[in-house]
Chains A and B, each alone.
Chain A
């Protein structure tokens, strides 16, 4: 079975602080993909990043960075110098191939509030 755990329900930071959102996953698949999505107050789900299970290189995109560690089954997301516009719910997701299908499972999300 696939499972994604985002233990942090809500995080509040002051603008310009760095913040890390945690994601731990479980899967029996050897090939899988991990994702992060952002859901701003307007409600749409915005794709941020995709990593495959064979690529453990960390990735940086502007103020965003991701740390993928298979040894701990974690895929953490860091926002550097947070801004008010980063306030949103962030979802970690896992796509595997159990049973022949590419089931996409989401964590429960982390609500990030960035205040002035």
Chain B
């Protein structure tokens, strides 16, 4: 199994531009999580899906952030427009819905907004 695959690994963009982060969860996992990691705030849960349905998006910081999971094998996190304070490492993770397995994390996307 290739694990959780995130793309791109690094993204540098200018303020105001749209940014789309992508995630392919592990096959068979039906929970998917998006986290953001910064020095100031640590690991923050932004949103998570069960069976492709968003369950809790209370961690999404602003309307500029949106996430979708059109099918069981793909999810996107979009920031539009991006701002310098969005600079962070964004992790995607997947697990079984019962929580009885650990969450497997992707390598993360390091986003820099200049």
Q: Which residues of A contact B (CB under 8 A)?
A: 32-33, 35, 37, 43-45, 47, 50, 52, 91, 93, 95-97, 99-109
- A11 and B107 CA atoms in complex are apart in Å by 25
B interface, over-half SS: strand
What is the size, in residues, of chain B's interface with A at 8 Å between Cβ atoms? 25
Q: Which residues of B contact A (CB under 8 A)?
A: 31, 33, 35, 42-43, 45, 48, 50, 55-56, 89, 91, 93, 95, 97-105, 107-108
Task: Name which residue of chain B comes closest to A107, CB basis.
Answer: B42
* Residues on B with beta carbons closer than 8 Å to the beta carbon of A107: 42
With A104-B103, A108-B43 given, name 16 new contacts (CB 8 A): A33-B99, A44-B105, A44-B108, A95-B103, A99-B55, A101-B50, A102-B48, A102-B50, A102-B95, A102-B99, A103-B48, A104-B33, A104-B99, A106-B35, A107-B42, A109-B43
- A32 and B108 CA atoms in complex are apart in Å by 26
Given contact pairs A33-B99, A47-B104, A50-B101, A108 touches B42 in the complex (Cβ within 8 A)? yes
- A47 and B107 CA atoms in complex are apart in Å by 13
Task: Name which residue of chain A comes closest to B43, CB basis.
Answer: A106
Task: Name which residue of chain B comes closest to A94, CB basis.
Answer: B99
* Residues on A with beta carbons closer than 8 Å to the beta carbon of B48: 101-104
- A32 and B99 CA atoms in complex are apart in Å by 8
Scoring B31, B43, B50, B55 by chain A CB atoms within 10 A of each residue's CB, the highest score goes to: B43
